[in-house]
Amino acid sequence: MKKNIWVIAHHQETEIKPVTFELLNMANTLARQINANVNTVLLGTSVTHLSVRLIGLCDHVYLFEHPLLSEYHYETYQQIFLKTVDKYHPDILLVSSVLRGTDCFPRLAAHFKAHYISGCLDLSFNPQSGHIRYHQAVYEGRSILEGAFKLDRMAVIMTRPHLFAPSMEKGQSETKISPLKISLSPMEFITRRVSSIKTVPLSLGEALVVVAGGRGMQSAGGFKLLWELAHRLHGAVGATKAAVDAGWCEHRFQIGQTGSLISPEIYIACGISGSIHHLAGIQGAKTIIAINQDPNAPIFKHSDFGIVGNVFEVIPKLIQVIDSLGD
Ligand SMILES: Cc1cc2nc3c(=O)[nH]c(=O)nc-3n(C[C@H](O)[C@H](O)[C@H](O)COP(=O)(O)OP(=O)(O)OC[C@H]3O[C@@H](n4cnc5c(N)ncnc54)[C@H](O)[C@@H]3O)c2cc1C
């Protein structure tokens, strides 16, 4: 029987996030090798209008709309995916690590005794052995592990954004769109969300450009400069532990061993020395630019471009140049 790869779509109310197209590229590439269908799940309060963006990119789009999905709650997602797996028996669930739900997928894998691969970098089929081979980033990206599994049971696979080109080409000639045939009731949940804090528009994991600050930014006021630069570059702001510990930023902005692992196209380190704990979080960054007044700062050894200078002089000049370029 044909195998089924399920991609969990990531979206905002008005648009499908690029990471979904990256997952579809990965799914379609593997599907061609193992002769599988690619199905996409779209969850939300009102997502039907988004399904059109997925036409031609997968075999089937399954929609699930429910008022309980207005806010993320892991119990809700857990219920949805438990029921979906029970009903549809996907062979592979492909998820991005920036998707809401990263907390529910390891649990899901454990529940179904599935293969579970986090930090997956690629997937390919070996027809000789019948195994699916993968590379996986471990120890905060300091090591790459090579592994293989047989599709004798479900596999839950989590990848990071920006590893694959987004799939925008039409692959499938026909894409079916239908509702996910499961039900959801508030009675099934033990906890209820009372309120939620405002989140930043762009998450660190998704951003193509990350402007991060360290102790060299000197204060929460100094970080405002980073927000201004990030805003102009359509990027997100990150921080070192030192800046977070000083109270200039919330912990959710921390990058590194005990913070987020990111893989943006461009990473700009401002007033950051480049400790191993911080570098652990930026292994996936494609281009690293450092601004530091100390020419011997370790960050320069790990940077593609370096500016030796005072952040309070360099960043305003960068902002000025960007502004002079216009839109
Ligand atoms: C178990 C453990 C886990 C950790 N996890 C993390 C983690 O997840 N993430 C993390 O970031 N750290 C982590 N740390 C802390 C880490 O070891 C470093 O202490 C921290 O990263 C240093 O932050 P920093 O670069 O902002 O500060 P510093 O090391 O103090 O560097 C500040 C830099 O700013 C430069 N500077 C100062 N003023 C200016 C200026 N005006 N213009 C330009 N440059 C200037 C200085 O030359 C210096 O290089 C962890 C530590 C431990 C022990």
> What are the tens digits of pLDDT across the range 23-52?
999 999 999 999 999 999 999 999 999 999
The pLDDT of residue 67 is: 86
Q: How many other C-beta atoms can be found within 10 angstroms of the C-beta atom of residue 13? A: 10
Regarding whether 148 and 68 lie in a shared domain, the answer is: yes
The pLDDT of residue 261 is: 87
The pLDDT of residue 195 is: 67
The position carrying tokens 């060299």 is 216
Question: Which CA distances in Å does 5 have to 92, 93, 246, 261?
Answer: 5, 6, 45, 26
Ligand 1, residues 258, 301, 308, 310: which to mutate, most atoms within 8 A of Cβ?
258
The pLDDT of residue 165 is: 77
Sign of the C-alpha dihedral computed for residues 82, 31, 9 and 66 taken in this order? negative
Regarding whether 145 and 32 lie in a shared domain, the answer is: yes
What does the alpha-carbon distance between residue 238 and residue 254 come to, in Å, rounded to a whole number?
A: 6
Ligand 1, residues 140, 218, 275: which to mutate, most atoms within 8 A of Cβ?
275
Residue-level length of the chain:
327
Q: Which of 132, 156, 188 is at the close of a domain?
A: 188
Regarding whether 137 and 59 lie in a shared domain, the answer is: yes
Rg (CA), the chain: 21
pLDDT at residue 198 greater than cutoff 60 = no
The CA-based angle 74-75-80, given to 5 degrees, is 95
Q: Which two tokens stand for residue 108?
A: 């899901």
Residue 292 Cα to ligand 1 midpoint, Å, equals 11
Residue 197, domain member (yes or no): no
Residue 303, domain member (yes or no): yes
Regarding whether 266 and 226 lie in a shared domain, the answer is: yes
Regarding whether 128 and 77 lie in a shared domain, the answer is: yes
pLDDT at residue 202 greater than cutoff 70 = no
Regarding whether 165 and 22 lie in a shared domain, the answer is: yes
Q: Which domain holds residue 296?
A: 209-325
The pLDDT of residue 200 is: 54
3-state secondary structure of 325: helix
Mean pLDDT for all residues in the chain: 90
Residue 40 Cα to ligand 1 midpoint, Å, equals 41
What does the alpha-carbon distance between residue 254 and residue 272 come to, in Å, rounded to a whole number?
A: 12
Q: Is 14 left (phi over 0), alpha (psi -120 to 50) or beta?
A: alpha
Regarding whether 162 and 20 lie in a shared domain, the answer is: yes
For residue 155, the surrounding DSSP H or E stretch is: strand 155-159
> What are the tens digits of pLDDT across the range 144-175?
899 999 999 999 999 987 777 777 665 667 89
E-assigned strand segments in 28-105 = 36-44, 60-65, 92-96
- Which CATH number characterizes residue 12's domain? 3.40.50.620
Residue 99, domain member (yes or no): yes
Ligand 1, residues 292, 307, 313: which to mutate, most atoms within 8 A of Cβ?
292
Contact 92, 3 (CB under 8 A): yes
Residue 198, domain member (yes or no): no
Regarding whether 88 and 40 lie in a shared domain, the answer is: yes
Residue 67, domain member (yes or no): yes
CA 318 from centroid of its chain's CA atoms: 28
Q: Which of 126, 153, 188 is at the close of a domain?
A: 188
Regarding whether 277 and 161 lie in a shared domain, the answer is: no
Residue 242 Cα to ligand 1 midpoint, Å, equals 5
Q: Which of 135, 153, 188 is at the close of a domain?
A: 188
- Which CATH number characterizes residue 220's domain? 3.40.50.1220
Residue 275 Cα to ligand 1 midpoint, Å, equals 6
Contact 56, 171 (CB under 8 A): yes
Regarding whether 264 and 162 lie in a shared domain, the answer is: no
Ligand 1 environment, Cβ below 6 A? 214-216, 240-243, 254-259, 271-273, 275, 277-278, 281, 291-294, 297, 310-312
- For residue 31, give every residue at least 6 positions away whose Cβ sits within 8 Å of its Cβ, in sequence order, or none: 5, 37, 38
What does the alpha-carbon distance between residue 240 and residue 242 come to, in Å, rounded to a whole number?
A: 5
Confidence tier at 252 by pLDDT (50, 70, 90): confident
Residue 201, domain member (yes or no): no
Residue 80, domain member (yes or no): yes
| Structural domain count of the chain | 2
pLDDT > 70: what percent of the chain? 92
The pLDDT of residue 171 is: 65
Regarding whether 122 and 220 lie in a shared domain, the answer is: no
> What are the tens digits of pLDDT across the range 119-129?
899 999 999 99
Regarding whether 82 and 157 lie in a shared domain, the answer is: yes
